[in-house]
Each structure stands twice: as structure tokens, then as C-alpha cells.
């Protein structure tokens, strides 16, 4: 009898490992969470697109290059005080929003920094309900007029949800222009099974979420003779994230994110749930991605010359405290040499590090602004 009970228990345990899980609101972040993750070298990721039912994803060869932490803090503990109430909580998501240069004389220089996403949740959905940001140094707490639903619950295999969103900053005499973001999001659960990373092996759902938005800057411009005229400049911002969600972790167990150009996905980040690890001695492959970076020292811009066939190169400028202060993608070009210009007008004088990276490796160059 005991033997039969043991066999039944083993069979039940084995079936439970193979069963589909369901993601609910209890698996989302809560205020006060501090959750560590490791950034992985993109070239170590392997096949992240294949999916299906009862599938096994093996990412246990991921090679960490750095670590980070997602901090979810109560609204009053953010730079945007109590305006989001006590049910929403914030997470700093960007130091600086990359804004394309508008080659029209008279349009004011615009900087958007210290971006916080504010979340709230219910038993049926997890949403981004607002953004806190500083526009030209002025803190602006703003709400979505059409909230961005990130997940609908319960989240199960074959679910496919689509939702719209719209966000705009306030406009007043101090800030006579607006930043508007509007579009739609498609979230699809296209697989379930087991995922293995250096952190462990767990049951999971595979989720693909894609945000299609148009980001617009609008305001007024003072033109010679003509006088004050309105302007609006919009640019597409399509981003996708492949996520493996599991129960109890509150953030994706593994995630590959990047941008969409047409139907082509360009990955720029891979990160997985992890505990603290000592990364001293972890060696990043070095590669001469830039033929030349000049001038150095500089005053307002640097030029990066790259070879052909390097693919999209991620360019990050970091200050000596490790904070990323500027980000730009140097798009793939098949010319023998390619010229890319980084505008530094919004950066203070001092020493910086330019990090260039692609799927093959990384290059770091120190420069100064005088």
C-alpha cells in the first residue's frame, strides 16, 4: 500500500511539472519589491524565437556581463511626490529619452530625463497609469488618458490581447511644447513549458508583447518674418519583448527586448532573474567596433566611424558614476566605412565613457567634454 501511494505521489509530482501554469495579479510586482537581475551577453542567448506547447527552453549557458535591480517604490518616495496616490507605485525606467534632432532653426532644444513608470493593478489587469518625467529639468507628473494595459488576468496559453494607450505631457507657459505617445499593444501567450537559466529551472509561460506607438513633439516655433508658428514632429517607436513568466518571481524570469524596424526585430537587451553574484573577473569579449572616435576632447559632439557589416551597434555614453546619460543605436550600413554623429549639447563638461556593443562584443572609449 505504501509503495502504491509513493508511485501515485511521484506520478502526481511529475504531472504537475508538465502542467500549464497560469499567471495572475499575485505574480506581478508589489510596492517595496527590490528584485535583482543579470544582464546577459546577447551572443550567449541562442534560440529565443522557437516556441510551442510543453516546450523546453534551455538558456543555462547565458553569460552575465552586469547586474541591475528593479526597485518598485511608493509614489510619495519618488521625485513626483504624492500625485499618483497611494495605490500606484513607481519604477525608474529611463535616465534619458533619446529624442531625434529636429533640423529646423528655431525649434527649442528638448530634454526628457528621470522617467518613472507608475503602475497599478487589479484582479483583471496590470497597467501603466502614468509617467513622471523631467522636461528640460522641470518635473512633470502625467497620467495616461488611455491607460496602457500590460497584462490581462488570468494569463494562459493561447491568450491574445490587444489594447490602446495614449499619454501626453502637460503644456503651460513654462513648457510651451508637449510630448505625446499613443498607439496600441499586442500581447500573446504563444508557449508554455520549462525554462532553464543559470538561476534555475522552472515552469513558465512564454509571452510576446509588442508596443506600436508614435511619439510626437509639438509646440511653437518663432520664425523670422513669419513669427510664431506651431510645429509637430512624430516618429515611430516600435518595441518588442520576448518574456518567460513564472509564478512568484514578480518580474520575467528571462526577457529579450529590442526594437522593430518593419518586421525585423533588433535585440538590444537580454536579462534574467538572478541573485547577487560577484562579477569580478567576468571577461567581456572586446571587439574594435569603431575605426575612429573624434574629436577627443570635444565640446558638443563626437563622430564615430565604423566598418561595414557590424550590424546595429548600441552606443551608450556613461558618466564616471556609471549612469547612462545618452543612448543611440548606430544602424547597420553596408558602406565600407560609416559615419555616425552623437550630439553632446545636453551633457555637462567632464569625463565620460562611450560603450559600443553588438552581438559579437563590446568596445569602451574614454573621452572628455570641455
pLDDT value for 247: 96
192 and 131 together in one domain? yes
Q: Is 138 within the bounds of a domain?
A: yes
Q: Is 88 within the bounds of a domain?
A: yes
pLDDT band at 9 (very low <50, low <70, confident <90, very high): very low
* φ and ψ at residue 15, rounded to 5 degrees: -65, -35
- From 273, 300, 320, give the residue that closes a domain: 273
The CATH number for 334's domain is 2.60.40.3080
100 and 230 together in one domain? yes
pLDDT band at 150 (very low <50, low <70, confident <90, very high): very high
pLDDT value for 7: 45
Cα dihedral 124, 130, 235, 70 sign: negative
Mean pLDDT of 257-262: 89
pLDDT value for 179: 83
pLDDT band at 305 (very low <50, low <70, confident <90, very high): confident
117 and 265 together in one domain? yes
Q: Is 281 within the bounds of a domain?
A: no
215 and 84 together in one domain? yes
Q: Is 146 within the bounds of a domain?
A: yes
pLDDT value for 318: 83
pLDDT value for 217: 82
100 and 174 together in one domain? yes
pLDDT value for 13: 42
Counting the structural domains of the chain, the total is 2
Mean pLDDT of 281-299: 71
pLDDT band at 291 (very low <50, low <70, confident <90, very high): confident
Pairing of strands 55-58, 177-197: parallel
- From 229, 247, 273, give the residue that closes a domain: 273
145 and 67 together in one domain? yes
User: Is it the case that residue 12 has pLDDT exceeding 70?
Assistant: no
Domain with 297, as residue range(s), is 290-369
256 and 194 together in one domain? yes
Mean pLDDT of 322-328: 81
75 and 182 together in one domain? yes
112 and 169 together in one domain? yes
Long-range contacts of the stretch 57-61 (C-beta < 8 A, 24+): 57/193, 57/194, 57/195, 57/196, 57/204, 57/206, 57/244, 57/254, 58/196, 59/195, 59/196, 59/197, 59/254, 59/272, 60/196, 60/197, 60/198
Q: Is 48 within the bounds of a domain?
A: yes
Q: Is 278 within the bounds of a domain?
A: no
245 and 297 together in one domain? no
The average confidence (pLDDT) of the chain is 83
Q: Is 284 within the bounds of a domain?
A: no
Q: Is 8 within the bounds of a domain?
A: no
d(CA 288, CA 352): 19
pLDDT band at 183 (very low <50, low <70, confident <90, very high): very high
What is the percent of the chain with per-residue pLDDT over 70, rounded to a whole number?
82
User: Is it the case that residue 157 has pLDDT exceeding 80?
Assistant: yes
Give 108-140 pLDDT, tens digit per residue.
666 778 889 999 999 999 999 888 888 778 788
User: Is it the case that residue 2 has pLDDT exceeding 60?
Assistant: no
pLDDT band at 5 (very low <50, low <70, confident <90, very high): very low
109 and 215 together in one domain? yes
344 and 249 together in one domain? no
> How would you classify residue 359: left for phi > 0, otherwise alpha for psi between -120 and 50, otherwise beta?
alpha
Mean pLDDT of 359-363: 73
User: Is it the case that residue 289 has pLDDT exceeding 60?
Assistant: yes
Amino acid at each position: 500500500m505504501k509503495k502504491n501511494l509513493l508511485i501515485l505521489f511521484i506520478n502526481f509530482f511529475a504531472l504537475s511539472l508538465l502542467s500549464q501554469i497560469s499567471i495572475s495579479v499575485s505574480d506581478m510586482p508589489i510596492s517595496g519589491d527590490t528584485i535583482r537581475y543579470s544582464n546577459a551577453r546577447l551572443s550567449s542567448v541562442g534560440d529565443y524565437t522557437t516556441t510551442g506547447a510543453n516546450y523546453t527552453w534551455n538558456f543555462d549557458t547565458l553569460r552575465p556581463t552586469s547586474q541591475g535591480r528593479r526597485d518598485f517604490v511608493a509614489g510619495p518616495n519618488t521625485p513626483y511626490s504624492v500625485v499618483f496616490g497611494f495605490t500606484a507605485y513607481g519604477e525608474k525606467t529611463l535616465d534619458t529619452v533619446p529624442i531625434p534632432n529636429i533640423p529646423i532653426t528655431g525649434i527649442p532644444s528638448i530634454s526628457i530625463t528621470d522617467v518613472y513608470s507608475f503602475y497599478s493593478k487589479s484582479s483583471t489587469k496590470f497597467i501603466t497609469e502614468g509617467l513622471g518625467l523631467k522636461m528640460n529639468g522641470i518635473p512633470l507628473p502625467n497620467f495616461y488618458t488611455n491607460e496602457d494595459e500590460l497584462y490581462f488576468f488570468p494569463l494562459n496559453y493561447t491568450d491574445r490581447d490587444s489594447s490602446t494607450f495614449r499619454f501626453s505631457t502637460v503644456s503651460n507657459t513654462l513648457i510651451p511644447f508637449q510630448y505625446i505617445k499613443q498607439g496600441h499593444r499586442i500581447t500573446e501567450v504563444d508557449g508554455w513549458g520549462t525554462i532553464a537559466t543559470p538561476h534555475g529551472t522552472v515552469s513558465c509561460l512564454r509571452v510576446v508583447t509588442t508596443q506600436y506607438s508614435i511619439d510626437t513633439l509639438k509646440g511653437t516655433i518663432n520664425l523670422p518674418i513669419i513669427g510664431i508658428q506651431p510645429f509637430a514632429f512624430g516618429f515611430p517607436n516600435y518595441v518588442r519583448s520576448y518574456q518567460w513568466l513564472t509564478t512568484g518571481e514578480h518580474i520575467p524570469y528571462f526577457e529579450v527586448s529590442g526594437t522593430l524596424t518593419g518586421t525585423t526585430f533588433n535585440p538590444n537587451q537580454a536579462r534574467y532573474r538572478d541573485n547577487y553574484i560577484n562579477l569580478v573577473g567576468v571577461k567581456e569579449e572586446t571587439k574594435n567596433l569603431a575605426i575612429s572616435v573624434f574629436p577627443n576632447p570635444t565640446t558638443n559632439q563626437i563622430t564615430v566611424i565604423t566598418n561595414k557589416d557590424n550590424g546595429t551597434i548600441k552606443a551608450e555614453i556613461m558618466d564616471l558614476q556609471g549612469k547612462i546619460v545618452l543612448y543611440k543605436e548606430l544602424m547597420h550600413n553596408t558602406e565600407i566605412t560609416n559615419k555616425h554623429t552623437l550630439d553632446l549639447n545636453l551633457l555637462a563638461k567632464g569625463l565620460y565613457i562611450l560603450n559600443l556593443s553588438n552581438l559579437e562584443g563590446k568596445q569602451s572609449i574614454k573621452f572628455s567634454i570641455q
